[in-house]
Amino acid sequence: MEVFRKRRSIRKYKATPIEKEKLFRVLEAGRLAPSAANKQPWNFIVVDNEEVKKKLFNAYPSDWFVKAPVIIVACANPSLAWKRRDGEEYWKVDLAIAIEHMVLQAYSEGLGACWVCAFNETEVKKVLNIPEEVRVVAMIPIGYPDEEKGEVTNRKQLREIVFMNSWGNTCEELLT
């Protein structure tokens, strides 16, 4: 519970480089994630080169983003992913699990990270030579935090989001 309460989106990083072993464990946390039918339809591009980061600025023009010592770009290949019989696609779900594994491991390593999805995907793909059929799901800047954030507070309450046995039924009995 401590990880869930204390993990926050960090948007200010120290220039201190990330130790190789820590980065390894962050990536390993992603690798171990579950995926539908164990298809693992993912690739992760680790960006630590200043020139490449400068180019990624064009895709997500925020100074704090490119100041992160490392940016992990999480990609999905939809043609490799499991699909439901009705055609519903699950590659974003698979990627989200792997990405959040990495974000939580980063927190456990004393690092800060932030999900970034509001980027120009065409630009990211151009900069990183990503094949046409591959989709970019998120970019995760990671570095030692240079801002203090309190615990998570601004979430809906359980009584607003949990129902018992049928849509709309209060879950009050679980909370008292």
Ligand X SMILES: Cc1cc2nc3c(=O)[nH]c(=O)nc-3n(C[C@H](O)[C@H](O)[C@H](O)COP(=O)(O)O)c2cc1C
Q: What's the token pair of residue 47? A: 């960006």
What is the rounded distance in angstroms from the CA atom of residue 20 to the CA atom of residue 74? 19
**Residue whose CB is less far from ligand X, 59 or 128:** 59
Compute the least distance from the CB of residue 115 to ligand X, in Å: 4
Contacts for 46 with CB less than 8 Å, ≥ 6 apart = 23, 27, 70, 71, 72
C-alpha distances in Å from residue 119, one per residue of 13, 60, 66, 122, 126: 20, 5, 13, 9, 13
Work out how close the CB of 56 gets to ligand X at its nearest, in angstroms, rounded to a whole number.
13
Q: How far is the CB of 20 from ligand X (least distance, A)?
A: 26
Part in contact with ligand X (CB under 6 A); list of ranges 36-44, 49-57, 115-123, 128-136: 115-123
Q: Is 118 in the site for ligand X (CB under 6 A)?
A: yes
Q: x/- binding map, residues 130-159, to ligand X, per CB under 6 A? A: ----------------------x-------
Least distance in Å: CB of 155 to ligand X? 8
Say which residues have a Cβ less than 8 Å from residue 119's Cβ, sequence separation at least 6.
59, 60, 136, 139
Query: Where along the sequence are the contacts to ligand X (CB under 6 A)?
Result: 8-9, 114-118, 152
